[in-house]
Structure 1
Amino acid sequence: MSGGNAIRGSRIGAGPMGEAERGESAPRLAISYYCARGHETRPAFSQEAGADVPAEWDCQRCGLPAGLDPDDPPAPPRTEPYKTHLAYVKERRSDADGQALLDEALAGLRQRGLIQ
């Protein structure tokens, strides 16, 4: 049975979307960006934005930064290892500073009679 209603499942007033309903598209310019893994990404920009095209774009396949030069793509960002709170404190304070703070805190506790 191949017969049926051609507009079944559509809304009243719904029709094919096309240039007639949306208007003409602005002229586009496709720019190629290349990442360090050799992927090519081609986002489209308005031709009016030709001089304002960004130098880097995120690769759509792997997420690495991509540049305009296929022979010299941007280097992947360096990931920083996880640091504990103590590691950050050690970056800010020397061992002498830490010892001075500890002595000051212990003196305060001794003065209040909490330790001997």
Structure 2
Amino acid sequence: MGEQDRGYHADRISVSYWDAAGNEIVRHFAANLPDEEIPDVIDSPQTGLPAGRDKDNPPQLAKTEPYKTHLAYVKERRSDAEAAQLLDEALDQLRSRRGGGTA
């Protein structure tokens, strides 16, 4: 009687995921979904940690890199000698502009 009222239920499969805290998360997918479309890792709704299909080896939280300023990136690209040379060139240009404009 329920199927007549609500239609037929699609076949589905249940996939278990485990996070590093040992929590099991079960997700349901359509039975005809190819295996490559079922995710290997999901986010655990209880802990926010990544959860994988392997109970014995759950994925670990990826190490996040701290925010870098523009100056930090510039210091990675330039040596101290290059930085001093660029600063000297910029100061020479500034002095020539200011000296030339006031004369």
TM range (shorter): 0.7 to 0.9
Letter in 1 for 2:57: D
Supply the distance in 1 between the matched residues of 2:83 and 2:4 (Cα, whole angstroms): 73
Map of 2:20 onto structure 1: 36
Letter in 2 for 1:58: D
Supply the distance in 2 between the matched residues of 1:91 and 1:100 (Cα, whole angstroms): 16
Structure 1 stretches of 4+ moved >6 Å? none
Letter in 1 for 2:7: G
Q: Which has the higher helix share?
A: 2
Out of 49, 64, 70, the residue aligned to residue 49 of structure 2 is 64
User: Normalising by the residue count of structure 2, what TM-score does the alignment of the two structures yield?
Assistant: 0.80
Letter in 1 for 2:50: P
Letter in 1 for 2:51: A
Out of 56, 59, 71, the residue aligned to residue 74 of structure 1 is 59
Contiguous gaps of at least 5 residues in structure 1: 1-17
Q: 1:36-115 alignment to 2 at 5 Å? A: 36-52=20-36, 53-113=38-98
Matched residue SS, 1:73 = coil
Preserved contact between residue 29 and residue 50 of structure 1 (Cα < 8 Å)? no
Q: Which has the higher strand share?
A: 2
| Percent identity for Structure 1 against Structure 2 | 52
Number of equivalences: 97
Higher RCO (CA < 8 A, seq sep 6+): 2
